[in-house]
Amino acid sequence: MRRSLGAIVGIGELAPKRRTHGETTLGMIAEAARLAVADAGLEPAAIDGLLVGPQVGETPQHVPATVSEYLGLMPNMADVVDLGGASGAGMVWRAAAAISAGMCEAVLCVLANTREETAPRSPNRNPIREFDVPFGASGANAAYAMIKQAHMAEYGSRDEDFARIASAARANAQRNPQAIFHGKPASVEDVLASPMIASPLRLLEIVMPVAGGAAVVVVSPDRARSLPRRPVHLLGAGEKITHRALSQAPSLTSGPLKPAMARALAGAGVDKDDLDLLSLYDCYTIMVATTLEDLELCPPGRFGDWLADSDLGPEGDTPLNTHGGQLGFGQPDLAGGMTHVIEAVRQLRGNTPGRQIPDAQLALVTGNGATMSEATALVLGDEP
């Protein structure tokens, strides 16, 4: 009995050219995508998954977000497939796997490239290069400062509210000997007294880049039963991309983690109140603030009141980033996000001496890319 793993329902192809003149990779991606979606008989809004190649001349990173933004898509799953000549075929089975996993229903797989006679001089149609960078909105510090400023302007949130987040991260880092700030606590007053980096962001509200690495191994539930380590199970997942350039963000006070977390919780069949650990991406204090509100632990703009009534330590009522988070542990580049996964695994295994959450069974892990643009949420559990 044959079983279909997936179905290709639309195709789009551009005629090959020996050379291109003034064309852009994004433009060619858009035309190939348009043809494929039309051939499938779908509307662009039906596309909720995206797989692209790594070679997009208009951006060296955040490629799925850049392409999504250019095409006007907000996918629930997106990724780069970097397999050289095998990338096209590799995209097809990855798309089928993502659909089978319930992450999305219609995946656009697209590749394109230009070939100029001389060094590329074509216009850069990446919105962040057209509408953000020329006006000084360049770099993460400036971008997240604008998000914090918008939150303060809309809701009246105070610097003291944000400082509590950084201070709590440092407090938890004191229980983690591996944390870069182990032995260096910081009070709310210390955070407020730290230098202003990009108003209204202060130094201690910003992650410290460090060297480091992190990895996990994933196997099937059946395979896990034969291995010596206590497994931690993926119970639910959610993903969402809404933009790349801050100027294109649907909102500056709520991000794509809101639908991603809702989808992960629904997939796991649990409620936010069932969670024993919040392992939340914390590149900046404002990122934690918006995540708490998007998780609906408190109304929009009220995270400060919620923090004042909460204990974020491992024995507290709402353990948050018990390893210190990136604000206390440090951010080893992209591995910084993986540290949140690893802390959740350690807590659910029950082997974090000195900071163990009693009877930890469920954890929410979040990841954030670009400028509150690319979001992933996972619900992990000690049992399936």
The confidence score (pLDDT) of residue 123 equals 62
Strongest mean pLDDT among 118-122, 127-131, 149-153: 149-153
Neighbours of 306 (CB within 10 A): 17
The confidence score (pLDDT) of residue 34 equals 94
Contact yes or no for 289/368 (Cβ under 8 A): no
pLDDT at 132 over 90: no
pLDDT at 121 over 70: no
How far apart CA 302 and CA 308 sit, in angstroms, is 10
For 48, which DSSP code?
-
pLDDT at 357 over 90: yes
Q: Which pTM does this prediction carry?
A: 0.87
pLDDT tens track for 180-208: 999 999 999 999 999 999 999 999 999 99
The confidence score (pLDDT) of residue 225 equals 86
Domains (ranges, CATH) in the chain?
A: 25-125 (3.40.47.10), 140-381 (3.40.47.10)
Computed on alpha carbons and rounded to an integer, the radius of gyration of the chain in Å comes to 22
Here the tokens at position 8 are 């290709």
pLDDT tens track for 233-258: 999 999 999 999 999 999 999 999 99
Strongest mean pLDDT among 84-88, 133-137, 356-360: 356-360
User: Between these two residues, 191 and 62, which has the higher pLDDT value?
Assistant: 191
What average pLDDT does the chain have? 92
Dihedral angle sign, alpha carbons of residues 248, 251, 255, 260:
negative
